[in-house]
Amino acid sequence: MKTSRRRVRGPLLAVLLTLGLSLSATPASAFPGSPGPATPDIVDSTEHGGRTVALTFDDGPNPEDTPELLDVLRRHRVRAVFCLQGDQVQRHPGIARRIAREGHTLCNHSMYHGDMGDWSEEEIRADLLETDAAIREAVPFARIPYFRAPYGSWGRSPGVAADLGMQPLGWSLAVEDWVPPGTDELVRRVEEGVGPGAVVLLHDGGGDRSQTVEAVARVVPELRSAGWRFTLPARRG
């Protein structure tokens, strides 16, 4: 997990803030992928609970591991949420397009993975708008129904994200794959930690995520055989 705190400054900040003011006057339901008004409540479960689980992946796209992860998910017919980092989308737009093309849900995960805990609403809005623009440059008219704060450091971001039509997306199970503990350990953490309606935090970017890919390839069929169904997080808090 990176610790960059780069912020938008100067003329670009002014432009984004102007755009943000016009967007904030638009009903949240007018945004692509937002059938109703988003709320500031942080979602950390699936819609219906029970033996359902949602897989979410942060910090990508990553050319070393994301394509292989996509292969695994396609093979097992699982749809997931990819929390995309804006600068990574700019570096690897083709992978972002593949994520969307294969039916996965997109999530705004900030532009540079900065800690927003003490940012002003204006700074957060500028960053989220810049990230949305980067995603939609790669994937025109992309639906971006969720926002996830880097490090889970939410600060004022839930309200800003909701104003922009994005539901804040948390998690109920973090397996800490950002410090690779070995594939067997990741599998154990998921299988022992998963509960009804779990939203699982994993990573496809930010470092070597080959262990995560291998763990997902094992966990998905094992959970399915145990009666679990893969779905998406709730759309509203």
How are beta strands 229-230 and 198-203 bridged, if at all? Answer: unpaired
Grouping H, G, I as helix, E, B as strand and the rest as coil, residue 57 is strand
Identified catalytic residue from 92, 104, 113, 203: 203
Place of tokens 């083709």: 94
Identified catalytic residue from 44, 58, 163, 204: 58
Q: How many whole angstroms separate alpha carbon 44 and alpha carbon 57?
A: 14
Residue 61 token pair: 């796209």
148's CB contacts (< 8 A; 6+ apart) are 56, 58, 83, 107, 108, 109, 168, 169, 170
Place of tokens 């689980």: 53
Confirm whether 109 is a catalytic residue.
Answer: no
List, in sequence order, every residue forming a beta bridge with 83; answer none if it has no partner: 58, 107
Distance of CA 3 to the CA centre of its chain: 18
Confirm whether 113 is a catalytic residue.
Answer: no
Determine how many CB atoms are found less than 10 A away from the CB of residue 126.
25
Contact 136, 176 (CB under 8 A): no
Catalytic residue numbers read 58, 203
